[in-house]
Structure 1
Amino acid sequence: MQSNDEETAKPRTTEVKLSSWEEFEERVTALDPGNERRVWDEVWFRGQADARWALETTLERRSRGTQVSDYLRVIQRIKPSVETFTGLTFDMPPYQVIEQSCRQFDLFQGFMFESATYMAHLRHGGFPSPLLDWSHSPYVAAFFAFSKARDPSHEVAIYAYREHPGIAKFGGSDEPNIFSMGPYIRTHNRHFRQQSRYTFCAQFIDGHWYFAPHDSVFKITSRLEQDLLWKFTIPASERRKVLRHFDKFNMNEYTLFASEEGLLEMLAMREIDLRE
């Protein structure tokens, strides 16, 4: 039960409206914690081509209120097909362990990390995922935001997320919680090209874990020293300038994805988008 103060307090998302790419570069420098030895205290970034879009996972766009055990059973069933195509082998707990662990509050976090490699691989491949992908690089996040932006009258959004500046992170057993994965996991090589990090949000309800929207955590006002979020909006009309800038550093679809589709998108950007 929330107190009256918690109910009237503002959400912990800081929205910053910017007028140019240069303003973003200035702002993002100020977010750097300046402590490279504390891996848990990184700031992670995520770019979205339309600032009006919600901060949602690809699984949320396909299905709401998913039980964690149901999703894990699905990806367990498709694993032989993925392994046959890729030639790789992915570790996952058996069905009985999935069912048992998803009904126990204290075992959940460690148990989920057993499937981290496989879940991250599926996310990079486009399978609906409960993982929200971030990047350690604000520039990678900005590239994804601007490269997909098409309407110059709208704004792109670049989110910055800081999980917990302190030594420990706290969460209530009856509240949604954000869990993080990365940077060092064995998964798709795009993980390293894109400096990927991942979060998922889950809540323990009536003896079972469910995936939950990240926004449900950012609205909790009793945890003001963790799960901090900034939303920077920038006019999409800055797109061509920003992509030209990135291309000088050879940051494009090809270098971030290393695929034929990425090569063709890079060529289309150079020969069509940047020449208009």
Structure 2
Amino acid sequence: MELLSWGQWVGDLKGSNQGTIILNIDEDKPGYGGLYFYDRNADLSSYNAAVEFQATPEALIGHVKNMQPVEPPKMTDEVLPTSATLKVVRHLPNIVEGTWVADNGQKGEFSMHRRESTQPCVKHTTIEWADFIHFALEQKRQNPNLVFRGQPDSNLPLRTSFHRTNRRDILRFSQSDMKKLNENLKAKGMSSYDLGNPEDFARLLSLAQHHGYPTPLLDWSDSPLVAAYFAFKNLRKTDSAGCVRIYFFDCQKWELEGQGFRSSAIYDPRFTLTTLRISGEGNERATPQQSLFTFTNITDIEHWVTAHEKVGGEFIRAYDIKKSSARNAILDLDRMNINADYLLPGLDGSFEAIRQREFYL
């Protein structure tokens, strides 16, 4: 039986425990993954763990190890598992089913499907650039909780840079990639971060995100015009077909009426899209960009948010502007001092601002 395809697998676990199971497999590490189990019984522990799959002609076996409860057990007499075995008995390209048994005697069945949609699904409206400026500022006045994100193509779904590299295992990222990044900065005589401190961990994530390192963060801004700048900034004359997209997201309404909780740790097994306002200390780009982030362990963000709109109402909407407006947009924003010189402090930003002002490539 073949190994599972890379990607994010989501499903249900039944038997002595009932809950949600999430399996994240990175494209560059087939046969291995990060496993999350969220128990629907709030009195019982939820876990994250590592899993290694072994394929034989007859079966596909997942060896689950290093099972760690996400929080200290609530019940003092709870017998915690340390390892488990998954046995896949039905394997289709995007569906798997099988049985599971843990070393504490818990057992049952599971089913998962591969969730890897590449299509945006947020409600969207096309608007002219000249109308967008007044409209966006008025929307922000009416609802100060709105935050904004610009993307250079309306066909691109909301997806973090980490997930766009076909990586899915957040635990591997936090325990390996972040450690290597921190060690590299320290070796160059730059700031060193205490990755066991949540605030330091978040600050390094923010710095990495603003300098192009793949992270499970999405950039947002409190300013719709800053978001518009980043939607248009890299377009060239030849990029005249299609539209850029700017997202309007009510993050406070989302956390109160949509998702209903804030994730407090990167290893929380629940699907989450959580807003983070991270200290700008050591990151000179954060303040001018009016920066904030959303952290997520979800590949398909748009379907996650819009699925909650059936109950909580609208949380997010997108506005599309023709790419042919790019030259006017960049010059208009420059007159408002929304340019690379201000948003990207340093020589690179200064030269980029002059280039955008004087040349249209």
TM-score interval, smaller chain = 0.7 to 0.9
- Give 1 or 2: higher helix fraction: 1
Structure 1 residue 35 displacement after superposition:
6.7
* SS at structure 2 position matched to 1:198: strand
- Partner residue, 2:174: 72
Instruction: State the structure with bigger RCO (CA 8 A, min sep 6), 1 or 2.
Output: 1
The Cα offsets for residues 179-233 of structure 1, whole Å up to 9 and x where unpaired, read as 111164534110111111100223xxxxxxxx54322422323664378111100
Unmatched tracts of structure 2, length 5 or more: 1-11, 13-119, 263-267
| Aligned 1:242-261 pairs, distance under 5 A | 242-261=329-348
Deviates more, 1:55-64 or 1:81-90: 81-90
| Structure with the greater alpha carbon radius of gyration | 2
Matched, 1:200 2:280: no
Distance 1:62 1:182, change over 3 A: same
After TM superposition, where is structure 1 displaced by more than 6 Å over at least 4 residues in a row?
A: none
TM-score by length of 2: 0.58
2:318 to 209, 231, 234: 231
CA offsets, 1:17-59, max 9 Å, x none?
11x11222243234336476xxxxx211111111111211111
TM score, norm. by length of structure 1:
0.74
Does 2:353 align with 1:266?
yes
SS of 2:274's equivalent in the other structure is strand
- Cα RMSD of the aligned pairs, angstroms, is 2.9
Match of 1:59? Answer: 162
Q: CA deviation at 1:176?
A: 2.2
- Write the distance in 2 (CA, Å) between the matches of 1:23 and 1:59: 34
Q: Secondary structure at the match of 2:321?
A: strand
1:270 counterpart letter in structure 2: R
Match of 2:235 in 1: 149
Q: Which has the higher strand share?
A: 2
Kept in 2: contact 1:201–1:213 (CA 8 A): no
Task: Using the TM superposition, name which of 81-90 and 192-201 deviates more.
Answer: 81-90
Question: In the alignment, which residue of structure 1 is the partner of 2:39?
Answer: none
Letter in 2 for 1:56: R
CA contact (8 A) 2:250 2:315 kept: yes
Amino acid paired to 1:70: R
Deviations 1:48-76 (A, max 9, x none): 1111112111111112322x221111211
User: Does 2:177 correspond to 1:91?
Assistant: no
Residue 274 (structure 2) pairs with residue 179 (structure 1): yes
Aligned partners of 2:150 and 2:143: how far apart in 1? 24
User: Separation in 1 of the partners of 2:189 and 2:205?
Assistant: 14
Which residue pairs with 2:95 in the alignment? none
Shift of 1:88: 1.4
Q: Which residue of 1 aligns with 2:185?
A: 82
The counterpart of 2:208, out of the listed 106, 116, 122, is 122
> Are positions 1:16 and 2:119 aligned together?
no
Over 3 Å counting, the alpha-carbon distance change for 1:152 and 1:88 in structure 2 is same
Q: Distance in 2 between matches of 1:13 and 1:185?
A: 30
Q: Which amino acid aligns with 2:334?
A: D
- What SS class does the counterpart of residue 220 from structure 1 fall into? helix
Match of 2:247 in 1: 159
